[in-house]
Amino acid sequence: MAGTRRDRRRGNGLVLSRHKLKLFILFVVVIASLIFINNYLRRSAKEPIEPDHKGQQSPDFQGGQNNEQQQLEYPVNVGGGLDQNVGELSYSDDNNEVDDVVHGQDQEKEKENSREDTEGMQGIGNTGEDGKTHEAGSLQQNIETNGKSQDGKLTENSNTAMEEDREQHHDEEDENVNGVKEKQDGKETSKEGEEDKINTVDEDQTGDASKNEVNKDAEDNNKIQDQTNENKIGNAEDNLKTIQEVDKLENENKETVNAGDDEQEKKQLNGKPVIDDIQVKVQGSEEQKGQDDTVGTAAEEKTSVENLAGIQKGQNTEKQIDGINDVNKHILVVPQTSKEELKDVDQDQKDNPGGNVSPEEEKSQLEPVQDDNMIDKAAEGHNDPNELEREKEVIGMKSTEDLTNQQEENNNDLEVIQGKDDAAEQDKTNTGNDGNKELIGETGMQPVETNQVDEEHKMTDTHDVENNVIGDNNDSEIKTDGKEELTGEGNLGNTQEKQSQEQAQVAGNSRDNLDIGGETGKDSIEAKLQGSQCVIPELSSRFDCHPEESPTQEVCEHRGCCWNPLESVHPSRNRPPDCYYPTNFPSYSGTEETYTEYGYQVNLERNTATHYGNDIMQLQMDVAMETNSRLHIKIFDPKNRRYEVPLYTPSVTHKSTSQSYTREVGKSPFSIRVKRAVTEKVLFDTSISTFIFSDQFIQISTALPSNFLYGLGENLSPLLLDLNWTNKTLWARDITPKLNRNLYGAHPFYMVMEGDGNAHGVLLFNSNAMDVIMQPMPALTYRTIGGILDFYMFLGPSPNEVIQQYTEVIGRPFMPPYWSLGFHICRYGYNSLEKTREVVEQTRAAGIPQDVQWNDIDSLDRFMDFTYDPKSYSHLPEFVDELHKNDQKYIVVFDPAISSNQPKGTYPPLDELLSDDSMIIKNVSGGLLIAQVWPEETVFPDFTNPKTMTWWTDQILRFHEKIPFDGAWNDMNEPSSFVHGSFSGCPDDNKYENPPYLPGVSGGSLINQTICMSARHKWNPHYDVHNLYGVSQSMATYGALLKLGKRPFVLSRSTFPSSGKYAAHWTGDIISTWEHMYYTIPSILNFNMFGIPMVGADICGFYGNTTEQLCQRWHQLGAFYPFSRNHNFFKANDQHPTVFSEAMQNSTKKALMTRYSLLPYLYTLFYKAHTDGTPVVRPLFFEYPKDVETYAIDKQFLWGEALMITPVLQEDAVTVDAYFPDGAWYDYHTGAKVHTGKVKLDAPLDTINLHIRGGHIIPEQVPAMTTQASRNNIFGLIVAMSYAATADGCVFLDDGETVDSIDKKLYTMITFNVSDTGISSTVLHHGYPGTESLVLDYIRVLGVAGKPHIVETNGHPLNHSYDEATQVLYITEMALPMHKPFEIKVAFS
């Protein structure tokens, strides 16, 4: 930092010496004529600077730094590299958390985690104001030395240490964020002069006689200028001096500074307007508004605002602006500055950059917005006077005449503040609304044509086009189609009010600046408030107007909202809001409906800006009546294409001829209401609260028809969602599961039971970070920070039909290979092939069935993909061959991160990836984004690029030649990074890194435990596609395994709607506790609703040491997970079944053998899920939608329609409470009938309760040690009679591994039925030759009232027996060929 300051002194001396004579003359002339001074300043500001100033830069600089920046003496992120603690991970914390949960130790840690979760990641890296992260040798020091970074390094760098500490990265890394921030504040960031402190402007202007003389002249000139502009800056002498000089330098540098200068400039100057009270003070006077000649050019005004933003960013001057009582309250903490330099900065704001501030500070602490677009013009050398006028308008300096003229501009005069020709930029970015959707390969990906990157590597994706701004929209001119500028009221008549509101709009895109802004802006909104508009009798009907932390009355009312605190209620987030929207809060109005071939469209318009800034003032709503039960509602910007989820969904060209729904559109204010046609029940109603659609904040609310709400994952929570002011945050995150914490995937889909047996579902097809807030009205509110509103509504009316309709849109689940339904064993930490082989052999010797053995990353060579450890796993290929000989399978792990620090020629996957770096995710400046995962420094493949999918396929196929594995495991694909953002940090002044609203993400920052939001994919910035990274890798892996010629099996941790087409899922790194065992049930039920039926959890838990009883009960439950795998962590004790007692082993064997016997039924359920989307595992209410008692049950579940599982979930329990809906139910083990209603069941330690529903026939097969061996065994049927003495069922048969066996008709489908005369079968289709070797040998008939006297087939009697106590009929030794129909006659006397 000190070296940088010395460079600024040199630059100051150079400029001031060069203008010494001019300034002196100016001093004399100003006394005579103030107007002459202003005109002279306007001319002198345009003189070019001497280019040789670059040669006087510090060695830390490359390409020079703008002298404009050198004039600003406030602490700013200017060089010397990153703080060495950025992104560090404290491994000890996560262990403590796990131990606390497992052993019930100090629970205060969790409270501390909760508090620190909200703390953000400010200033993680050095960046330019254009959003570019500077590479080696630039202002930001090169962060990589010999392949390693000093800035983001882990506490432990060696592979061994990382292997010993895996669980630590899963916990609350946000705790470390605060520690990192505090360390950053205490560091100097320059290589020389560390003893220098940036405390005052005067301190930097010593040591040179000529400089002192010039500075004195400049100070005198400032005094005169202060008198001229007293209303403008309130006698701030030093500040005005800086304003003048910076203004000159900026205009001079426009002609001389190269792109590298621009990048360095953005280290120093963010060009951010100051807080509202300063803006009003500086720019609100009548003299200023009425006379353009007293304020200079628009560029001068911009510089003034920028300089004041400099004060806000930490400039400690001896004199403060007159009229501001406490500037320090508004100082924004800038990273990499010592604590002494920031001693005036409010401590809470320093520690809490993520937007959560105390009530006292929120009144005044407003983060300035970025001014990248203005700075970019200087870098690109444009001096368009029209651009200057637009800049002038942005900061509120138009006269009344200017504003009136602006209102009359042509509607097509779209403005782009980016330093390029407006029309050219429009042609480049406005791609139209519909765009072209192109399928990529076989995986259904669709690129969005967004022209993401120009020749200067600036982001120009669809997300940026709103308000006609490329890149960061934060300082863009606020216009609506060229008609009028947006203000608090949309009224152009009151110039003073207009200016204040414009200033507020400019500042409105900062996370901390979330009010209308300025007293005038406040009045303009509050003028609409009447007392009755704030009287909302039901607290449950309040909709939060201040979702950020710690609202205050002042900020609330600035937003035009109602303040009515609930003092009697204990403060918490689970309560009605104190600040809420009035009933007449300004919103959109709609036009009349225009009918289309697929439905209709409505144009929407609003006239009043909101407190989040960059509102899209004109919208279009398209309503497509796609099917009788599916309604598609899409709200978007019709003028500028915004980002949309680029995954395939079906499209229609005409509306359905009939609909099970009706819809109503409210015109003023706009709203949409959807009703069920038959019952007229309102299912979706947005009229209950305000609708906001801005660039980075979209909010819409809907009433719900009942309190029975489900879905919205991925979270750890009960099945039935709590509507008591709770929030579900949807943002993929690598983290240890905790209650209601955002986890590995994002699924913005919910289902509602309407209270009368009907159900409907709603999908918001949006992949941006999102909060969904539920309140007891009942209602919910969506808040997303990007994209569009793309709603699909599914009318059911049954729950199963809702999921069928939902998966019709997102894609049906993949058909799993039969072997994947067997039992799997894995462990992170075998550490040798010998230990792996030992587990397999012990399991086989114990008679416990096992189909699949896995290895985790400890089997890899230095944790690198497509390798295996040449020492500890040297004979891995031979071991896999051994497994195959025993009809067992092997699965390998492929994390997405690729080691990036291997010497060229030593790691072919990296060499091939680097051969075309378009296949790699880039930072915003176009360089490789370097993160850290298990192999230390890593890069991330961009799976949205088809080239990357080809590269990925090649690596998998090549590795398969070495290790003939059978399936692939995609872990860590949120994507997870052990450094927050990247080693080189993230651009703090980029809009993607600092959205105006931060959803409730774990860690308090979007980049926490992942990569920069501004990182560049082929599809869009990471900000938009983060939640899609897991599904994009699943697509690539599934496609690669298809090349092997057999049905793929892929397991993915991160998921999104449509993931079920390609991959299975497990619930992540859960803890070995009874509580977590329970939560696996609602998680598995939810994922079946999400269209991912192949789902399971780590049996016995991943973290912590299980107990024998817990592991025994968990194996019983896990035997009925669709995906059944035992997996745990290397620091925990071994937990595969054979490490426990013989009794526990026998219990596990019993449960797994039951599973294996029921595999024909389970496989048939997967066939149904694959063909029509029906869930495999279901909540009870799916089959009993009119029984309200079932709505909250999540400790029991169903396989399909017929099999109920009731596990023990409490320690030492030998009974379990169960609920049986109306109908016949039978004990699976004994066949005895059970009572309906609430029942207490015996639950001995070696047994899990299973019950069969009357009216169904379940196929089963004699189990064996593997699925392959079981498939060759005899079949049987379990016939559970209904009260009406009927039952039916079916079985699906194929070879279990052929790709597309259903489409190819290589399967056999057989149905079974019970009638008055007996039991019969029908072969609906016979295309699988293997069916001819299968025989049906036995039948159990449950619920037979008496002993039959005849049991025969084709006149031949069959062996049978009858148990009078249980009323079970046993028919044995039938040997009937499965591929031929049969009829068994059963007659009673």
Mind telling me the catalytic residues? 971, 974
One-character DSSP codes across 734-764: -----BT---S--EEEEEEE-SSS-EEEEEE
Using DSSP's 3-state secondary structure scheme, residue 183 falls into: helix
Nearest partner of 444 among 1166, 1023, 1058, judged by Cα: 1058
* Geometric angle at alpha carbon 761, from 757 and 763, rounded to 5°: 175
- Residue 966 pairs in a beta bridge with none
- Answer whether 900's CB lies under 8 Å from 947's CB: no
Q: If 0-12 CB within 10 Å is exposed, 13-18 middle and 19+ buried, where does residue 1237 land?
A: exposed
2-18 and 20-32 helices, crossing angle to 10° = 60
- Which residues touch 477 (CB under 8 Å, ≥6 apart)? 390, 393, 394, 415, 417, 467, 485
Q: Please say whether the beta carbons of 123 and 988 come within 8 A.
A: yes
537 CB-near residues (< 8 Å, 6+ apart): none
Are residues 307 and 246 in contact, defined by beta-carbon separation less than 8 angstroms? yes
Distance from C-alpha of 610 to C-alpha of 783, rounded to nearest angstrom: 14
Q: Give the sign of the dihedral formed by CA 842, CA 848, CA 851, CA 854.
A: negative
* CB proximity list for 347: less than 8 A, separation 6 or greater: none
Instruction: Evaluate whether 216 touches 209 at the Cβ level (below 8 Å).
Output: no
β-pair partners for 938: 899, 931
Residue 50's identity, in one-letter code, is E
HEC profile for 842-854?
HHHHCCCCCCEEE
Distance between CA atoms of residues 480 and 411, nearest Å: 8
Reduced to 3 states, what is the DSSP secondary structure of residue 893?
Answer: strand
Closest by Cα among 121, 61, 126 to 985? 126
Q: Can you tell me the distance from the alpha carbon of 884 to that of 487, in angstroms, rounded to the nearest whole number?
A: 71
Enumerate residues 6+ apart whose C-beta is below 8 A from 836.
Answer: 830, 853, 855, 859, 879
The residue type of 1265 is M
Q: ∠730-733-737 over CA atoms, to 5°?
A: 95
* Separation of first and last alpha carbons in the chain: 101
The answer to whether the CB of 800 falls within 8 A of the CB of 782 is: no
**Phi, psi torsion values for 749, nearest 5 degrees:** -125, 135
Contact 394, 476 (CB under 8 A): yes
Phi first, then psi, for residue 97 (nearest 5°) are -60, -45
Secondary structure of residue 656 in the 3-state scheme: coil
User: Could you tell me which of 415, 419, 432, 561 has the C-alpha nearest to residue 485?
Assistant: 415
**Cis peptide bond N-terminal to 669, omega within 30:** yes
Angle at 331 between CA 325 and CA 335, to 5 degrees: 165
Of the candidates 249, 224, 372, the one whose C-alpha atom is nearest the C-alpha of residue 309 is 372
Task: Report the C-alpha gap between 308 and 304 in whole angstroms.
Answer: 6
C-beta of residue 1337 within 8 angstroms of C-beta of residue 1373: yes
Residue among 735, 729, 737, 768 at smallest CA distance from 1000: 729
